Amino acid sequence: MSEEKKKNFLERRTSRRDFLKQSGKGVVGAAVSISILSLFTDSAEAKGIALADGIVISDPVKCTGCRRCETNCTAFNDGKAHPYIARVKVGQNYNFGLNGPALGYRYDEGQFGDFTIIAETCRQCESARCVNVCPMDAISADPKTGARVINKKKCVGCGRCAVACPYDIPVVDPEVGKSTKCTLCEGKPSCAKGCPTGSIKFVSWKDVELALLKREQLIENN
């Protein structure tokens, strides 16, 4: 990719919906560069907190839809196998991809389309909606990893974080009445460690922009 193309890609305006569609495709899924982190907040008054060490990304080319990542996630964080509360979401795009049910579903992603499985992962947003809408101030940056984590003692299970997240990552555990969210598993995401195909990876922030450009190049060459 030429330097001019790289510059144009990073500077062009992208709607949230267009970005959401694009970010699930290609080699690095949802990876984003720090230079376009503003896409992850719509509020001019949003408070920013320190960046996480990195983000979890999924390669839909390698994902087989086994959903082992969801089980590994909840086994580590919750001590039970409960895909509904997993911090990595395979099931929500499993059948129809990012666009959901549509007339042309046979030509879109998902098991009912071209078999491309797009897993959603937490972006660890700089100015996170889940942080800003929490009425109990229960979400903050973990001092070790920088991951935006939920303080279960403060959380009242109102679900505002789940409604606010544009990627539908947080969810209220119906068994305990508390919200769940990606913790980066103390810096070693269990979803990535247990992925049998290597589809899920943890990418440090210093490598995010390079990963994004590689994804764009792959899309252009296909």
Q: Looking at per-residue confidence, does 199 or 113 come out higher?
A: 199
Q: Looking at per-residue confidence, does 168 or 108 come out higher?
A: 168
Delineate the domains of the chain, giving CATH numbers in brackets: 3-221 (3.30.70.20)
pLDDT on residue 100: 75
pLDDT on residue 131: 93
Report the 3 state secondary structure along the chain.
CCHHHHHHHHHCCCCHHHHHHHHCCCCCCCCCCHHHHHHHCCCCCCCCCCCCCEEEEECCCCCCCCCHHHHHHHHHHHCCCCHHHCCCECHHHCCCCCCCCCCCHHHCCCCCCCCCCCCECCCCCCCCHHHHHCCCCCEEECCCCCCEEECCCCCCCCCHHHHHCCCCCCEEECCCCEEECCCHHHHCCHHHHCCCCCCEEEEEHHHHHHHHHHHHHHHHHC
Whole-structure pTM value: 0.70
Mean pLDDT score across all residues of the chain: 77
